[in-house]
A and B are shown apart, each in its own frame.
Chain A
């Protein structure tokens, strides 16, 4: 029978063939193998997604064609401009050329950064999927790989210095896959969650106060939009992503999709009571009520963004609920005694309290 073919044996410890596994234990923080593997793997997935988009239809063709035309027009305009400059004077021509070259270089760099940011975001997404799979499969090697990757991802977070040290000491211990993922979540992502909750809560508070005092509906729309985007960016940075413009757009899209998927302001969140409970306040001022609603919406969006940007799924730690956040910032707002009259004071004091 095959499986039992290798016989038991003993060797002296000083036998040159015996390699004690201590050498296996490399410092986990500086082992870059896994992230590289991920980066080479992800562009393929992206390419597949893009080609699918191309098939999608005429609208895509139309916009791409238009884009092409605009690009051509720009190129043409620039070249004509440079020619015109040369015609006027040699020096001006050279200045024109170098400016155009600089612009092209900058564009390239920006594009490169954007692509890297997108890859990074996808890598985080992939890490989350892998972690979810490892929870089920309980594979030890996979668990350790995820922990290593997370250590790599959070290497520039001063908040986690000690936690990283402790976790990297455990990476080579005999810990099963699911346990390892939970352990990584508790030690590395837990502190970030606290910070994330604080960020979301602060943004929500800001939005509700600004809505309450802003003179124009358009203005607070713009403000809500800007705050939400800023919040997403902050959260992405917090959890180790570096979203550029496109990355941010993608994040916003994902978060919005997530909010729609989970039903906007879900009744199950227990927020309704919060709103009803503050009905009296709303009677006092429609403005304040609107502010609160906008704040809740921002918080909801922030929570969705947390789920989208977090490198691990919520397994060992409780998912922050809207209820907690809402209770938090509503209390602070309505605890201002003369909220309506001295709202500007309120805004400054609550901002100071964050």
Chain B
């Protein structure tokens, strides 16, 4: 259980940290911007496009400081944390520009420091240091575990895995689980097999046909440097409601490992990275969930709710800066908005708003600013109208990656096609109701699904201001304005 003393100590350490940071920030204003989202949500692309746009002067009309010409220069600088890997901006950029493929996805935390030299509206030359922290959204799913005992977590995970469509995916692990006796003596081999099966189940839930999001513990999917350690070798068990774990039993071993997982992995992440963020953008791949079906959408809603409960959001004040660091702006972004015609963007935003409704309210009450936006950090499509039997379809043009399927067609990754991905409803609730007639890949074949959002290849660079190439984007400038615009006044 949670020890009050350790919690107090944590708080003290964080406060001390905050105090030091507060001092440095007075001299040298800094924003720590957290970029997160489940895998495939587009974090890496977002950061690459953002850094590229700031450094090369992208086409950002809505980002006032840049459009008004007040940003003199943005340059990369050595990052402050020596223990955290650097965000490999150059490699990702090369992948996007030269190979026309999406960069490698985020597997662990990484960091990049960008120094923006700008002139304030009143004319003073200033610098703003932007520390971009990129971390897998799966790790966020671990934060709720901090307030959960092993028994609670175990029961919850099992209940979840017995729902459709997860039950089918979890059958192997369930079979093995039945052979385990929680009260019996601990076996390392049994624990290893169970963990392998459990991880396989979590991984298969992530397949694009199911696109599940609520898959804690996150480090099973993104082990980082801890792969294979005992702290990552535990599974939920079918434990009796009452009674205590006998000494030396499987149950007590699992519980010990669960606690060390929290202590060794989750808490340091929380303390050293998460609790120090000033601004946060959460990228959500709503389209993947729409592809998969209503189950995936509901799962996404649940995952977002549990993640958002962990944000300590609120208005920033001198007091809070000293004793209780807070996130004062959160942006929820439905990424890959370029997969939809602009006429559907409002509906996409409405769905995301519906997904994050409770979190929006809590954060707003606490005084934090929260916004929802449909964006595409790199826009891979153009728009078109298709005339079909007296009706007009608002469609997009793009190059699907090799092997993608729509209807009868299989794409080769070279030809550009016009796609109509399906109509998003005006009322997002229609997608969430139990009786919803909407079917995705989970329930039906790719030919019959209601929505098909294909993976597309990155665009060919277009030239922007001063003939320097810049990525086309959708509302990246609006996101920037919201996230850092107020600090560049």
Residues of chain A having any CB pair with chain B under 8 Å: 1, 3-13, 15, 17-22, 140, 166, 170, 173-176, 179, 182-183, 186-187, 316
Contacts and interface: CB of A to CB of B under 8 A. Distances in A.
Contact of B393 (A3, A9, A20): A9
B451 interface: yes
B77 to A, nearest CB: 30
A134 to B, nearest CB: 14
Contacts of B346: 140
Shortest 6 CB-CB contacts between residues of A and residues of B? A3-B425, A8-B452, A1-B437, A21-B383, A11-B418, A17-B387
Contacts of A183: 61-62, 67
A41 to B, nearest CB: 25
A136 to B, nearest CB: 15
Contacts of A4: 422-423, 425, 430, 437-438, 450
Given A8-B421, A21-B382, A175 B430 contact: no
Contact of B475 (A7, A12, A21, A176): A176
B407 interface: yes
Interface in B389-438: 391, 393, 395, 397, 406-407, 409, 415-423, 425-427, 430, 436-438
A173 to B, nearest CB: 7
B200 interface: no
B394 to A, nearest CB: 9
- Most chain B beta-carbon neighbours within 10 Å: one of A11, A173, A174: A174
Contacts of A6: 391, 393, 420, 422-423
Contact of A174 (B391, B415, B474): B474
Given A8-B452, A166-B61, 16 more contacts: A1-B437, A3-B425, A3-B427, A4-B438, A8-B407, A9-B388, A10-B406, A10-B419, A11-B395, A11-B420, A13-B417, A18-B385, A175-B62, A183-B67, A186-B67, A186-B68
12 contacts: A1-B437, A3-B423, A4-B438, A8-B422, A9-B406, A10-B406, A10-B419, A15-B386, A22-B382, A170-B61, A174-B345, A175-B61
A5 B393 CA distance: 12
Contact of B417 (A11, A186, A187): A11
Contacts of B385: 18-19, 21
A175 to B, nearest CB: 6
B409 to A, nearest CB: 5
Nearest to A166: B61
Contacts of B425: 3-4
Nearest to A10: B406
B449 interface: yes
A8 B420 contact: yes
Contacts of B406: 8-10
B407 to A, nearest CB: 6
Nearest to B392: A19
A179 B62 CA distance: 6
B273 interface: no
Given A3-B426, A8-B421, A11-B417, A174 B342 contact: yes
B151 interface: no
Nearest to B475: A174
A174 B391 CA distance: 24
Contact of A1 (B418, B421, B422, B430): B430
B384 to A, nearest CB: 5
Nearest to B376: A174
B332 to A, nearest CB: 15
Contact of A173 (B61, B382, B386, B417): B61
Nearest to A180: B62
Contacts of A187: 67
A13 B391 CA distance: 18
B315 interface: no
B419 A20 contact: no
A174 B416 CA distance: 22
- Most chain A beta-carbon neighbours within 10 Å: one of B386, B416, B418: B418
Contacts of B61: 166, 170, 173, 175, 183
B64 interface: yes
Interface string B444-463: 00000111100000000000
B478 interface: yes
Contacts of B407: 8-10
Given A17-B387, A316-B64, A5 B423 contact: yes
